[in-house]
Structure 1
């Protein structure tokens, strides 16, 4: 991969595993210095950092719950202390629970909205202070659940719909300051979490096979596919791309 993000600094929230880890690795491979944020899994975050640095990149792991303003402030302070600034924010941190209406709880609702929506706002607000005067790129990791939720995903889908709305609204508010805001829209992604559940393609798992069938290309995305799209949006190649919701789903329907 070309070093199209050389001399750039990126924060990826929720980057210790899954989509976030894939994004962090691809940003690092493209030349960015990467802050791998994690809420609880230091061991996994350190593995991501090790992979980036082993490939000649620069990265650190910083703990922080993005739903808590003090921890977000510390995350950005550590970034500035280590790398001197910020150019790219990827709002990936999120939690996912199935919530059938009969089992719906207020605590589950609040926790999902606190992390997925409030966390996006707090991190974007903190990034704005670094971007002001020079510009930057905010990339929100949404989901097809924002518009095409499966059964029991009403609350999760609502958080991602809110994220899409924030993408459009903030792109309009911040555009005059050369700050671009976009969303990436994955569906099911082949991550280690999926693998640990035995939910892999080329198996007899009916749910996975049904998801594959619903894609025009007949295959599911991997975390690095989302990472590659994030590299594009973070680069100067996307200098006129803002306020967009970009599916990276293989044509999911």
Structure 2
């Protein structure tokens, strides 16, 4: 299965290199680091209480204890697709449902910003039938384009729309920012929390271990909760530049986007301009 191949790739990292401290971005508050790599992983449709501290989610709970655990993080809306579009572009772009295809043209987005700044971006989707695929779903329904927003923007090259099997064994070759999207079972959409937690436990430890010695960051978040008005979701940041512990600051997808943009000196898009980036969790300690 693709996920097992991916887990194997992640775990094939070599012995840790000497630790490198976070650096700052010119013109960006000194409180923000500049990771060499950021990996964003998005799960589906579960509330904070269903995951963090739940017996069905031992790995994600341990990850929350190892990093900054946001106890007041929220999705933007329901259903799924508008949240993904908002996280990538600072706006839902008029998307209010999960209908497909959505063609958002050259609307501004984080992927294009990174590429225009001479940095790099890729989205890795589990069970994507082929690199650059723009269909709405895989034949078996395990991949869904509604969870892959970069496929909606003509300004993002097809080469950035990758299958999870392409996730590199040499983690140093990862893009500056990459997204990893589990399939419809492993993301907890069609399967229970325990299935997604097991996938995370197979797939993410190699990157977490490598990132600790290579100035890199993991962001784990959810698109939305289980349908409540509060839309309270888990969000965890883990890396050598992160001070572990619970943090009660209220954040949402706009906050995450703004933080990524500020880290790399990019202008904030849409609603991200109206929210400050995440501060107070960063440390220069390895």
- TM norm structure 2: 0.33
Q: Does 1 or 2 have the higher relative contact order (CA < 8 Å, sep 6+)?
A: 2
- TM norm structure 1: 0.36
Where is the helix percentage greater, Structure 1 or Structure 2? 1
